[in-house]
Structure 1
Amino acid sequence: MDISASQFRLLKMMDEIEDHAIILLDKEGNVESWNKGAYKIKGYLAQEIIGKNFRLFYPEADRQLGLPTRLLTEAFTTGKACHEGWRLRKDGSRFWGLITITAVHDENGTVVGFAKITRDLTERIQAENTIKKHVLELESQNKQLEHFVYIASHDLQEPLLNVNNFVELFQLEYAELFDETANMYLDVINQSTERMRNLIKGLLDYSRLDKEKCLSTVNCHQLIETLLKDLATTIALAGATIHYTDLPTITAYPIELRQLFQNLIGNAIKFRKVNTAPEIDISAEKCTSGWKFAVRDNGIGIDPLFKDQIFLIFRRLHERDRYEGNGIGLAYCKKIVEMHGGELMVESIPNKGSSFYFIIPDGHAQSL
């Protein structure tokens, strides 16, 4: 195949391309060729645009700033110029174009013109702008929700405190007038307001999770040792035994990780079988995505019907007179694990025990 035939085939191939505008410009930027992609993207027929300057593709503001000239100068000087921005179609509508202008040289190395390739990225930029808009809206809604929770929590605390204070004064000043039933009513009021205060505090703490936290290196073995010392009284009263060995050092949020283990251990102790001492085993193993932790117990277990509901905030499966609490603990644990990029899971057999698993991904983990 001779050279002229090769050139003809190349030009024909370029002309048939529809997803890129491929045009040739002379040294002044006048259009010399026009392919199907150029027509599809810009809207001009070849006979309407050949001979005209490529500057008309640019908005007036860019022309005033000399952008087309700067791009030609850069391509002339360095061999190539790239730019991304708004361009104009024949009908005056805008599209977001990614353009590359490449200098074309003759056999002596002299610049004789330019090849300009344009790609229409309007859909991409619109999608990016839509995502940015949704992110900003979501951030605004989250801030409003956080503000509401904060204000509501503090505003609700004050009347509850007043109720508690006046009930105590009432009991103190009029104690001789109350019979057993009246004292029971006042005790119920006290218990209810205290439970409400705990619920509000739990909700406020839950809303504050994942706010300006700092990752640091955490020795999980030392963390559990310290935690068990702090829980010594609770563990002794329950007669619990806790096993843990070879726990790793990871990169995590230390305070939140401690709260996670404290809640899981606390639940294992709380939801124990009658006349059975709690046995709790804490372990970790390296997996493909990081470290997989497990907290296993021999407690009352969880009915499979409620396995997915236990992680919902304020969701309780038992009466308060049997197991105290406000239904926030496992929701708190789930959010802490998700803060680390992991997932909290549970396997359980009623009256046999439960095993809670969570993974700290590699982005937050390091081996010993």
Structure 2
Amino acid sequence: KDGAISRAELESSVIHPEDLASFRSEMECSIESGLLDEMTLRILRSDGEVGWVQVSGRFEYDADGTPRKLIGVARDITSERRAEAALRRSESRLRRLVESGIIGVMYWDLDGSVLDANNEFLKMVGFTRGELENGDIDWRAITPPEWQSADAHGIGQLLNVGKMEPFEKEYVRKDGTRVPVLLAGAMFEDSVRQGVILVQDITARKDAERELNKTNDALRRANADLEQFAYSASHDLKEPLRMVGAFSQLLQRRYQGKLDGKADEYLSFCVEGVHRMEDLIRDLLAFTQAAMPSERFAVPPVDTVAVLGRALENLQASIEETDAVVTHDTLPSLQVEAIHLQQLFQNLIGNAIKYRKLTEIPRVHISCARENGAFIVSVRDNGLGIDSRYKDQIFGLFKRLKDSADTTGTGIGLAICQKLVERYNGRIWVDSEVGAGSTFHVLFPFEQEVTAASST
């Protein structure tokens, strides 16, 4: 405020109440000396905010020595004080971080010296604070030879751009053991040789990665052993079956009609039993392969209509035998292995024909819809339908409906479908009502758009 102001006004409306006592004391001392030394006060500003000023001046006296007025200068230092307060808050937060023990902090020099460090860093490398203060820690000396090139790259970044991208390395502890760490750092703004490094101990993460790798290796070996066992078991079981089947058929051809009716019936049972066992072994092998965990690679889109066509070719005999009608909408290309998609179509369409109504021509329709970033392939039929009590059970091994128009089959087809779909992180379910047919839905969780193929 320019111009003169009375002391009473100054004390009542300008100076902050908490600073009045020190102001009055300083004034009394200054009256005797004639000079008001520089002092800092809080003031109440006209906008209601609290400000800071630095005040200094000298007194003028009347002829009798009575102080008449103070001529002084007040400099507004509010912005400086606020900056100092912000700096103190920042330093306090940094100090809490450094002392928290969450992460190691190390101040370094290019010559290898560790200028200072917090307790967490010292604990990582196994040194004491006394050894730090004696200059016994050299960050270059505790870096193994194989990590020195990574260090050099990081130092290059610091010198060029003032900061270092995080990278992993190891330090050699005082006892000779090693600690894996993740580093990030920056140069000091006022220095071309010194900076700060933040150090995170990643021992737990590395241990977890090693355990995971060991588990994955064991799983891969177990999968390979399981696959080999499945093939071996399949071969070992098929060979005696082939022999039984061959001799049963030979007996059937040679003695058909030459023995009594019961003998012919028994031979037929033998031949049919061999065929069913062969089908069972084949489907069990297919189920084992479908259930085998596999690494997921990017699969190129396949022509869904072409794959469906191959599945229908394999079902041609049952389609012609039952006069089944199979139709489909416009179908998009799907990122699924062609052989897996073909197996799905064959099993679902084959089941639709098998579980048909004897009084109607079986009709099967295939469609595909996009929903929430996924493709849902649906296979709808006009067959017998499924009781709601069995909607979940049918996806288990050896589960078959008793009212099938065709008594053949192993009861493994839908279990194979479920395992195949799970390989793609998808799911399969059925909507059905007894007597009203069934619709099997297969969801494949894909995000990208694909090209659609024509419908028939």
Give TM class, smaller chain.
0.7 to 0.9
- Measured against aligned partners, the alpha-carbon deviations of 1:323-367 in whole angstroms (never above 9, x if no partner) come to 210122112222332334321111222232211001233257614
Cα 1:194–1:90, aligned 2, differ >3 Å: closer, same or farther? Answer: same
Cα 1:177–1:319, aligned 2, differ >3 Å: closer, same or farther? Answer: farther
Deviates more, 1:314-323 or 1:267-276: 314-323
* Residue in 2 that maps onto 1:160: 241
* Residue in 1 that maps onto 2:183: 99
**Unaligned residue ranges in structure 1 (runs of 5+):** none
* Residue in 2 that maps onto 1:85: 169
253, 256, 265: which is aligned to 2:349?
A: 265
With CA pairs under 8 Å and 6+ residues apart, which has the higher RCO, 1 or 2? 1
Quote how far apart the aligned CAs of 1:319 are: 8.1
Partner Cα distance (2:381, 2:146) in 1: 73
TM (norm. structure 1) is 0.84
Cα 1:224–1:153, aligned 2, differ >3 Å: closer, same or farther? Answer: closer
Q: Conserved in 2, the CA contact under 8 Å of 1:315 and 1:328?
A: yes
* Residue in 2 that maps onto 1:74: 156
Q: Conserved in 2, the CA contact under 8 Å of 1:214 and 1:253?
A: no
3-state SS in 1 of match to 2:385? coil
Q: RMSD of the alignment, in Å?
A: 3.4
Larger radius of gyration: 2
262, 265, 272: which is aligned to 1:184?
A: 265
Q: Conserved in 2, the CA contact under 8 Å of 1:218 and 1:252?
A: yes
3-state SS in 2 of match to 1:171? helix
- Measured against aligned partners, the alpha-carbon deviations of 1:125-163 in whole angstroms (never above 9, x if no partner) come to 222222221111111100000000011111211111111
Quote how far apart the aligned CAs of 1:24 are: 1.0
* Residue in 2 that maps onto 1:205: 286
* Residue in 2 that maps onto 1:132: 213
Partner Cα distance (1:164, 1:127) in 2: 54
Letter in 2 for 1:27: L
Quote how far apart the aligned CAs of 1:320 are: 8.6
Task: Give yes or no for the alignment of 1:141 onto 2:225.
Answer: no
* Residue in 1 that maps onto 2:318: 234
Letter in 2 for 1:18: G
Task: Give yes or no for the alignment of 1:21 onto 2:21.
Answer: no
Letter in 1 for 2:188: V
Q: Conserved in 1, the CA contact under 8 Å of 2:311 and 2:343?
A: no
Partner Cα distance (2:307, 2:155) in 1: 63
Partner Cα distance (1:180, 1:172) in 2: 14
Quote how far apart the aligned CAs of 1:226 are: 6.0
Q: Conserved in 2, the CA contact under 8 Å of 1:239 and 1:277?
A: yes
Partner Cα distance (2:154, 2:335) in 1: 51
Quote how far apart the aligned CAs of 1:206 are: 3.5
Q: Conserved in 1, the CA contact under 8 Å of 2:354 and 2:406?
A: no
Quote how far apart the aligned CAs of 1:214 are: 8.5
Letter in 2 for 1:29: G
Deviates more, 1:85-94 or 1:321-330: 85-94
Partner Cα distance (1:184, 1:238) in 2: 27
Q: Conserved in 2, the CA contact under 8 Å of 1:250 and 1:364?
A: no
Cα 1:268–1:320, aligned 2, differ >3 Å: closer, same or farther? Answer: closer
**Unaligned residue ranges in structure 2 (runs of 5+):** 1-80
Q: Conserved in 1, the CA contact under 8 Å of 2:159 and 2:192?
A: no
Aligned pairs (5 A) from 1:306-345: 306-318=390-402, 323-345=407-429
Deviates more, 1:207-216 or 1:299-308: 207-216
Runs of 4 or more above 6 Å deviation = 2-5, 210-214
Q: Conserved in 2, the CA contact under 8 Å of 1:251 and 1:364?
A: no
Task: Give yes or no for the alignment of 1:123 onto 2:204.
Answer: yes
292, 299, 311: which is aligned to 2:376?
A: 292
Partner Cα distance (1:224, 1:308) in 2: 26
Letter in 1 for 2:216: V
* Residue in 2 that maps onto 1:112: 193
* Residue in 1 that maps onto 2:433: 349
Cα 1:262–1:58, aligned 2, differ >3 Å: closer, same or farther? Answer: same
Letter in 1 for 2:156: E
Cα 1:34–1:233, aligned 2, differ >3 Å: closer, same or farther? Answer: closer
Task: Give yes or no for the alignment of 1:30 onto 2:30.
Answer: no
354, 358, 365: which is aligned to 2:442?
A: 358
261, 285, 301: which is aligned to 2:385?
A: 301
Q: Conserved in 2, the CA contact under 8 Å of 1:283 and 1:295?
A: yes
Partner Cα distance (1:268, 1:315) in 2: 15
3-state SS in 2 of match to 1:341? coil
Aligned pairs (5 A) from 1:50-65: 50=133, 51-55=135-139, 58=142, 62-63=144-145
Deviates more, 1:11-20 or 1:140-149: 11-20
- Measured against aligned partners, the alpha-carbon deviations of 1:144-200 in whole angstroms (never above 9, x if no partner) come to 000000111112111111111122233344556632222222221211111111111
Partner Cα distance (2:300, 2:192) in 1: 57
Q: Conserved in 2, the CA contact under 8 Å of 1:314 and 1:327?
A: yes
- Measured against aligned partners, the alpha-carbon deviations of 1:284-322 in whole angstroms (never above 9, x if no partner) come to 212112221211122222233332222223333438995
Cα 1:279–1:313, aligned 2, differ >3 Å: closer, same or farther? Answer: same
Partner Cα distance (1:226, 1:65) in 2: 56
Q: Conserved in 1, the CA contact under 8 Å of 2:147 and 2:169?
A: no
Q: Conserved in 2, the CA contact under 8 Å of 1:278 and 1:299?
A: yes
Q: Conserved in 2, the CA contact under 8 Å of 1:57 and 1:87?
A: no
Partner Cα distance (1:253, 1:267) in 2: 21
Q: Conserved in 2, the CA contact under 8 Å of 1:58 and 1:88?
A: yes
Identity %: 32
Quote how far apart the aligned CAs of 1:73 are: 5.1
> How many residues in Structure 1 have an aligned counterpart in Structure 2?
363
Cα 1:310–1:54, aligned 2, differ >3 Å: closer, same or farther? Answer: farther
Quote how far apart the aligned CAs of 1:84 are: 1.2
Cα 1:320–1:274, aligned 2, differ >3 Å: closer, same or farther? Answer: closer
- Measured against aligned partners, the alpha-carbon deviations of 1:26-63 in whole angstroms (never above 9, x if no partner) come to 3322222222432454454423423222348837xx15
